[in-house]
Amino acid sequence: MSSREKHLVELVDETGKAHGETTVAAAHQPPGQLHRAFSVLLVDPDGQVLLQRRAAVKTRFPLRWANSCCGHPQPGESLAEAANRRLSEELGAGPVELTEVGVYVYYAEDPATGRVEFEYDHVLRGEFLPGAPLLPDQDEVAEVRWADPTALEAELKLDPRSYAPWLGGVVNRLLRPAESTSGATGPAMTPPGSSADDTAERSGGR
């Protein structure tokens, strides 16, 4: 077990209210425990978003394309602090200015590893400046690429198995922040017991 699997995460209800804590590893064991998480999309001045392909050693959805960076704030840690910490650890990037563009709850099971994602996900937009350094950690990130977010939505529908099942919901919040309300349940919310072969994966909800 990696050291990060032993870190604590904040357990929450579906309104985002905290009610306890557990380890990363325990939160992602079936049937999953709803906990606070964040998803960062770095956006350049032309509106392109940075994607990362998750490393093969990841315990959830390895080798899938996902948003720039994901993670969990530890109990008592602010979202901005946690997100910039993970941007530094995964991509050698940051710190960057972050704006929350939406929140949603999602559930997905990884058929390859048996782990579960059941998260109250804060979607954060980060402004990426041209020329800023990117030094991906090969233990975290297999490769990176830039993509147009509107075109990416179409790609997700055509080839969902190449992407992490949460990416569609993250991109949706980025493109339509006015439709995102704090505590809102995402369109791809799937109840425990459904596999990643079901609605959560097909529709792209994280």
- Given 10, 70, 109, 201, which residue is catalytic? 70
Q: Report cis status (omega within 30 of 0) of the bond before 31.
A: yes
Is 89 catalytic? The answer is: no
Residue numbers belonging to the annotated binding site: 28, 35, 72, 90, 117, 119
Phi, psi for 164 (deg, rounded to 5): -65, 140
DSSP state of 153: H
Strands 69-71 and 141-147, how do they pair? unpaired
Q: Which of 106, 103, 129, 137 is nearest to 50 (CA)?
A: 129
Residue numbers belonging to the annotated binding site for Mg(2+): 90
C-alpha 172/C-alpha 198 separation (Å) is 19
Is 69 catalytic? The answer is: no
Residue numbers belonging to the annotated binding site for Mn(2+): 28, 35, 72, 117, 119
Rounded to the nearest angstrom, the gap between the alpha carbon of residue 143 and the centroid of all alpha carbons in its chain is 16
Q: Are 79 and 97 contacting, i.e. CB atoms less than 8 angstroms apart?
A: no
- Given 119, 143, 155, 201, which residue is catalytic? 119
C-alpha 84/C-alpha 168 separation (Å) is 22
So which residues are the catalytic ones?
70, 119
